[in-house]
Amino acid sequence: MSSANSFQVIDLIALTDDFDLHTNHSCRFASESSQKWLSNLTDTDNGTPVLSPRERSGITSMKMGLLAALCFPRCDAPQLRLLTDFLTLLFISNARVFSSSDEEETSWTIAPENNVTGIDILASHTLFKHIVPQITRAYQTSSGIISPTWLTRFTHSTAAFRDAQLKVVVKHNNHTPSLDEYIHLRRDISGTRILLLLSELHEISSIPDEENETPHIETLTQATIDIYAWSLDICAYQIDQSHGCKYNLVAVLMQHKSLSIQGAVNLAGTMLKDAVTSFRTAESHLLVSLKPESYSNSSSNPLAWILGTIFDPTPSPSSSNQHQQDEKRKEVERYVRGLRSLIAGTVNWVYETEIYFGKKGEEVRTFGWVFLNKTS
């Protein structure tokens, strides 16, 4: 272990400085209404507050409404509110898990595996059950519009999230996962796939079913999850180490690569850069594959094409097929734009929230230096 009391983090914003960043106009509404609701939320069985006094007092400084607004800048106010509620409960839930050594503290009621949906799984959690009515209404309203595979994918993602949380609790004490084990677990416990599926439920972004399992789409989605999760890990290391939490990418790299803190942070930064490169490569290949045939050999910028600034006006031999292809292309474009917004929103938000750097976010953004908290 390094004896250094500080380290310098990679410039996260510079990695994706060409990704558009916008803020949802309903940011303030979603933030204030969500904070008020969560602060007054009580258990329907016994009337006790759902959140602890410490959790309630920290809601405002978390700035989860801003995270939702940066990641989903184009959705309506009610949609943004639900995403804000989910993100807040997600962060609180994971914070509880990473500080717990008791399986009961995960707040899950282990539901039978047969004939349960992702909505049922969320309903078995003491926090997430409170947003199940909103999700259920949205699903019933959109069931004739969204992909018929949505519920299956949602169920798989929520089950993976639940299982990842339980795995952390069971192995938490004095256990540092292997790098491969941690990478897979972090993807699930981040809850990013659930977040993306909630955005699809609200028609914020979606992809055609026939494109859902293609390698480029999966590479894009997985790279987005890794960028999101590893960015948070790098920023969270000073907090995690002070509590002895070993479920952090930096801590795992220090343990298994015999690195100093700075060496592990640097390697995590390299992994993050590689994930961004993977995203860009998959994006380029995907967009080229969906271009009209006459542009298949074009060297034009994929982002310019994604925004519709380059368009081939030549009619296709089959206008019906061309129309279907155009509609599919537009859906994929919207999905990719959504992933870009999620990435850009996250790497900018980490300097605004007080979760990681307290009130020194702007300092860290400018100089990169982080000073370790004392171990508790």
Q: How far is CA 104 from CA 57, 110, 125, 247, 376, in A?
A: 24, 10, 11, 19, 23
Rounded to an integer, the average pLDDT of 52-77 is 97
* Domain-located, residue 351: yes
Within a 10 A sphere around the Cβ of 6, how many other Cβ atoms? 11
CATH code (residue 107): 1.10.600.10
* Domain-located, residue 110: yes
179-238, pLDDT tens digit by residue? Answer: 999 999 999 999 999 999 999 988 777 776 655 557 889 999 999 999 999 999 999 999
Provide the residue type at 286 as one letter: L
- pLDDT exceeds cutoff 90 at 123: yes
Q: Which domain holds residue 352?
A: 6-291+322-370
Tokens 């790279």 appear where? 223
Q: Could you give the percent of the chain with pLDDT greater than 90?
A: 66
* Domain-located, residue 375: no
The residue ranking higher by pLDDT, 144 or 215, is 215
* Contact between 268 and 262 (Cβ < 8 Å): no
pTM of this structure:
0.89
CA distance 70 to 250: 26
Within a 10 A sphere around the Cβ of 250, how many other Cβ atoms? 28
The residue ranking higher by pLDDT, 113 or 145, is 145
Burial of 135 (0-12, 13-18, 19+ CB in 10 A): buried
Tokens 């069985």 appear where? 45
* Domain-located, residue 10: yes
Rounded to an integer, the average pLDDT of 308-331 is 64
* Domain-located, residue 299: no
Longest dimension (CA), the chain: 69
The token duo for 88 is 């807040």
Rounded to an integer, the average pLDDT of 47-62 is 95
CA distance 172 to 185: 13
Number of domains in the chain: 1
CA distance 326 to 313: 12
User: How does residue 171 score in pLDDT terms, banded at 50, 70 and 90?
Assistant: confident
* Domain-located, residue 310: no
* Domain-located, residue 125: yes
260-293, pLDDT tens digit by residue? Answer: 999 999 999 999 999 999 999 999 998 888 776 5
- pLDDT exceeds cutoff 70 at 141: yes
> Mean pLDDT for the chain?
87
- pLDDT exceeds cutoff 70 at 2: no
**370 sits in which H/E element:** strand 369-371
319-349 helix and 192-201 helix, angle to the nearest 10 degrees: 130
- pLDDT exceeds cutoff 50 at 295: no
